[in-house]
Amino acid sequence: MNAHDVSASEPRRSNPPRDLFPYFRTLADVPGADVAGEFTWSEFFPLPQPIELDIGSGRGLFLYNSTVEQPETNFLGIEIDYKEGRRAARRLQKQQFPNGRVLGGDAKEFLRTRVPPQSVSRAHVYFPDPWWKRKHRKRRLFTDDFVELLSKVVMYGGEVHSWTDVEEYFGVISGLMNHHPDFEILPPRTPHAPAHDMDYLTSFHRRRTQDGASTYCGCWRRRSPSEVAPAI
Ligand SMILES: C[S@@+](CC[C@H](N)C(=O)[O-])C[C@H]1O[C@@H](n2cnc3c(N)ncnc32)[C@H](O)[C@@H]1O
């Protein structure tokens, strides 16, 4: 069994405990779409700072380290598996950080129904589930629709970062991003030699690196409308 198969099971849903509020919330708590009210980022964050999303945040190592290292940026992890999302939120709650939060729910639904256009400065998608079996591929996060949603929410000049250990999936991600007119390829941030056990980008990065796997890294910049060549 590949390491990915462990978390690549069907999403597990359960009721979130309110004691983690406001560090962990679910889509059903967030106004917009079918919930009365209009969504703004002040729903999550007290300070109006740049927003970065960690899509499929898992246990939240990237979210936690980023929240600590960049207090001038607001970080939201989005995680469909509430158990993992709550675990990440618990670490943020212990430190009482105002700039780190977790949303339990489907990232695509959140991007589609809540996130205001061009309001995200960076979207991070690290080690998305590869869904190995061909018949399950449609469950992958990176699809044409997802890239359209990224194009909608990432601000002009903003960035999308994605890493994976699955070469074939990286080919799919690169193909979708490289050929989308709204994005241009940037030199990616690449892994450095870790100094200690927490010095990895994410938990999956640590696990797969320790297994000897390679990491494929991508970075793309959202073009502004004036840079996008009109289709002929
Ligand atoms: C392989 S894990 C990687 C977790 C973390 N990014 C890391 O690198 O350690 C992929 C994560 O994406 C989550 N996920 C999958 N589809 C999702 C979706 N549509 N919305 C939010 N999270 C999703 C899974 O529950 C899982 O925790």
Q: Is 190 exposed, middle or buried (0-12, 13-18, 19+ CB in 10 A)?
A: exposed
| Cα dist from 107 to 68, 115, 125, 189, whole Å | 23, 10, 11, 23
The percent of residues above 70 in pLDDT, for the chain, comes to 91
Mean pLDDT is lowest, of 32-36, 58-62, 71-75, 207-211, for 32-36
**Which residues' Cβ are closer than 6 Å to ligand 1?**
4, 7, 56-58, 78-81, 84, 106-108, 126-129, 141, 202-205
Report the pLDDT averaged over residues 82-97.
95
**Nearest alpha carbon, ligand 1 atom 19:** 106
**Nearest alpha carbon, ligand 1 atom 3:** 127
Q: What is the pLDDT of residues 139-190, one digit of tens each?
A: 999 999 999 999 999 999 999 999 999 999 999 999 999 999 999 999 988 8
Please tell me the predicted confidence (pLDDT) of residue 8.
Answer: 40
Ligand 1, closest atom to CA 61?
Answer: 9
Token output for 230 = 């009109």
Tell whether the model's pLDDT for residue 77 goes beyond 80: yes
CATH 3.40.50.1100 fits 18-227, yes or no: no
Could you say which DSSP state residue 138 is in?
G
Domain segments of the chain: what residues? 18-227
CA of 194 to the centre of ligand 1 (A): 22
Tell whether the model's pLDDT for residue 13 goes beyond 70: no
Q: Residue by residue, what is the 3-state secondary structure of 53-121? A: EEECCCCCHHHHHHHHHCCCCEEEEEECCHHHHHHHHHHHHHHCCCCEEEEECCHHHHHHHCCCCCCEE
**Nearest alpha carbon, ligand 1 atom 23:** 56
Tell which one of 142, 204, 209 to mutate to probe ligand 1, the residue whose CB is within 8 A of the most ligand atoms.
Answer: 204
Ligand 1, closest atom to CA 54?
Answer: 6
Token output for 61 = 């190592």
CA of 52 to the centre of ligand 1 (A): 16
Task: State the average pLDDT for the chain.
Answer: 90
**Nearest alpha carbon, ligand 1 atom 27:** 58
The span from the CA of 64 to the CA of 55, in Å, is 14
Provide CB contacts within 8 A for 163, sequence distance 6+.
126, 127, 191, 201, 202, 205, 215, 216, 217, 218
Tell whether the model's pLDDT for residue 34 goes beyond 90: no
CA of 196 to the centre of ligand 1 (A): 24
Query: Residues with catalytic annotation?
Result: 129
Q: What is the pLDDT of residues 14-27, one digit of tens each?
A: 555 678 999 999 99
The percent of residues above 90 in pLDDT, for the chain, comes to 77
Please tell me the predicted confidence (pLDDT) of residue 54.
Answer: 98
Please tell me the predicted confidence (pLDDT) of residue 12.
Answer: 44
CA of 8 to the centre of ligand 1 (A): 8
CA of 21 to the centre of ligand 1 (A): 21
Q: Which helix (H) or strand (E) holds 181?
A: none
